[in-house]
Amino acid sequence: MISRLLAISGRVQGVGYRDWLVREALRRGLQGWVRNRPDRSVQALVAGDAEAVQAMIAACQRGPLLARVTAVTETSAESPDQPGFSRRADG
């Protein structure tokens, strides 16, 4: 199991990005969370099988139909402290 903290920038707020990411993460069996950031980016913690995490990162570079992703940066992270995948409050 690996964990990555993602910072996703571009037109990613107000386009359903968080809901899309939750659906995609659950479909891939991942754990973690997603939230909006004050700088108009989206931040996500994704954890699970290495192949599924890498597939999620690749999908995040496209995002949902209305999104226009300009960058996805990733850093290693601690595993989430709760099971499942959820939307967190903005922060």
Please list the residues that pair with 75 across neighbouring strands.
Answer: 5
Residue 38 buriedness (CB in 10 A; 0-12 / 13-18 / 19+): exposed
Which candidate in 23, 27, 35, 36 is catalytic?
A: 36
Which candidate in 18, 35, 62, 68 is catalytic?
A: 18
Annotated catalytic, 18? yes
Annotated catalytic, 36? yes
Residues serving a catalytic function are: 18, 36
